[in-house]
């Protein structure tokens, strides 16, 4: 779902409405702030998630082959959705998507809230352990299909997330959309791991071309993003100051513009950790580069009043800044070397699971 990026936060929802400078600044500033949250906290959580003994928290590793194929798969998915919206009723497609993302959103938000709830609940809270186990066959041929362990705190998170899910399903409110969107983005940054910097460059380079082609070369990206009613983008109303929470003229940013650079930034944080120098130079340089690239996207888009492929600005910034830092520090070869420390960390996580 993160492949269907709508990179035009400045597109007005109605031609008659003209956003005030204050409303525009509030909307853009809020989008930038919301985009930074899952990248920062997702990157921090990505450092430790590979060591988790819970199979549900194990990261999914992206290899060079995966990275090379991803833009092609994303293009096919995007164009397929475009054809679906052209051929079938948009109302029924979005109804199916709403139900699908309701389930995904509840699980993602519950997983995001779980560490926070563990800190909020007092130690005296009666936290009982549960296990959901599905097996197939019997005797020696018995095979586990699902083996999930959870506790009372996880159930509380699930209930709260379900309430948000029902709110989104019934009202499609932009706040509920953003709660799900932030949860999707944070889980993506936390659980999708690039195996090395070279793979990250392949992925970002391929999606750079993908984003530019589908935004500038065709109307496919914009059409799908405007038709697709699902929490795959963060939105913020430009008319919030005039209409309050019932505002309807939204600036938007696709989750792909958060998750794709975010998993690269998380990789650089793990690279910092592997250097064992008690420094986060590459993480902070790439994080600042993301802020610069996203700010430049908004500036260009606001100036020319046209949808912009955010990765056009984010990819050069997020790759270029850390590479320059590595050149200055004389660590460029080390950066692009296959990170054995990271691989060992993942293998240890797999063995412990």
Measured distance between the N- and C-terminal CA atoms of the chain, rounded to whole angstroms: 28
Neighbours of 308 (CB within 10 A): 25
DSSP 144: E
Look at phi and psi of residue 126 and say left if phi exceeds 0, alpha if psi is from -120 to 50, else beta.
Answer: beta
Show the tokens assigned to 84: 């679906």
- Active-site residue 211, yes or no? yes
Kindly give the interhelix angle for 256-275 and 340-352, rounded to the nearest 10 degrees. Answer: 100
CA distances from 324 to 284, 285, 330 (A): 13, 10, 10
Q: Which of 211, 239, 272, 338 is catalytic?
A: 211
- Rounded to 5°, the CA angle 218-221-225 comes to 150
d(CA 327, CA 318): 15
d(CA 245, CA 173): 9
Kindly give the interhelix angle for 174-191 and 152-171, rounded to the nearest 10 degrees. Answer: 130
- The total number of residues shown for the chain amounts to 353
Of 150, 146, 165, nearest to 118 by C-alpha is 150
- Active-site residue 7, yes or no? no
Alpha helices, DSSP H, located in the chain: 21-49, 64-87, 90-120, 152-171, 174-191, 197-212, 220-227, 240-243, 256-275, 281-304, 311-329, 332-336, 340-352
Q: Which of 7, 57, 239, 257 is catalytic?
A: 257
Of 62, 42, 35, nearest to 310 by C-alpha is 35
Show the tokens assigned to 8: 């035009």
Q: Which positions are catalytic?
A: 211, 257
């Amino acid at each position: 779902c993160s492949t269907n990026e709508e990179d035009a936060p400045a597109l007005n929802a109605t031609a008659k409405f003209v956003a005030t400078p204050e409303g525009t600044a509030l909307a853009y500033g809020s989008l930038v702030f919301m985009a930074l949250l899952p990248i920062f906290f997702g990157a921090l959580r990505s450092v430790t998630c590979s060591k988790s003994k819970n199979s549900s928290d194990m990261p999914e590793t992206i290899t060079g082959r995966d990275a090379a194929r991803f833009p092609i798969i994303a293009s096919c998915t995007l164009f397929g959705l475009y054809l679906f919206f052209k051929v079938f009723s948009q109302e029924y497609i979005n109804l199916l998507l709403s139900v699908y993302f309701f389930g995904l959103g509840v699980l993602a938000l519950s997983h995001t809230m779980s560490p926070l709830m563990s800190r909020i609940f007092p130690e005296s809270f009666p936290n009982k352990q549960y296990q959901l186990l599905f097996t197939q066959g019997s005797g020696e041929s018995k095979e586990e299909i699902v083996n999930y362990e959870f506790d009372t705190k996880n159930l509380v998170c699930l209930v709260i997330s379900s309430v948000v899910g029902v709110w989104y399903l019934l009202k499609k409110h932009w706040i509920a959309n953003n709660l799900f969107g932030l949860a999707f983005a944070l889980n993506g940054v936390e659980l999708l791991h690039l195996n090395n910097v070279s793979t990250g460059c392949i992925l970002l380079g391929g999606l750079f071309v993908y984003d530019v082609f589908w935004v500038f070369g065709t109307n496919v990206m914009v059409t799908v993003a405007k038709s697709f009613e699902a929490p795959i983008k963060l939105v913020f109303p430009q008319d919030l100051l005039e209409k309050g929470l019932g505002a309807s003229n939204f600036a938007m940013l696709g989750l792909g513009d958060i998750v794709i650079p975010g998993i690269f930034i998380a990789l650089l944080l793990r690279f910092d950790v592997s250097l064992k120098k008690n420094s986060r130079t590459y993480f902070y340089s790439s994080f600042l580069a993301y802020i610069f690239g996203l700010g430049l996207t908004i500036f260009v888009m606001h100036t020319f009043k046209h949808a912009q492929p955010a990765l056009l600005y984010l990819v050069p910034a997020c790759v270029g800044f850390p590479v320059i830092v590595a050149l200055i520090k004389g660590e460029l070869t080390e950066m692009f070397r296959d990170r054995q420390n990271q691989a060992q960390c993942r293998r240890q996580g797999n063995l412990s699971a």
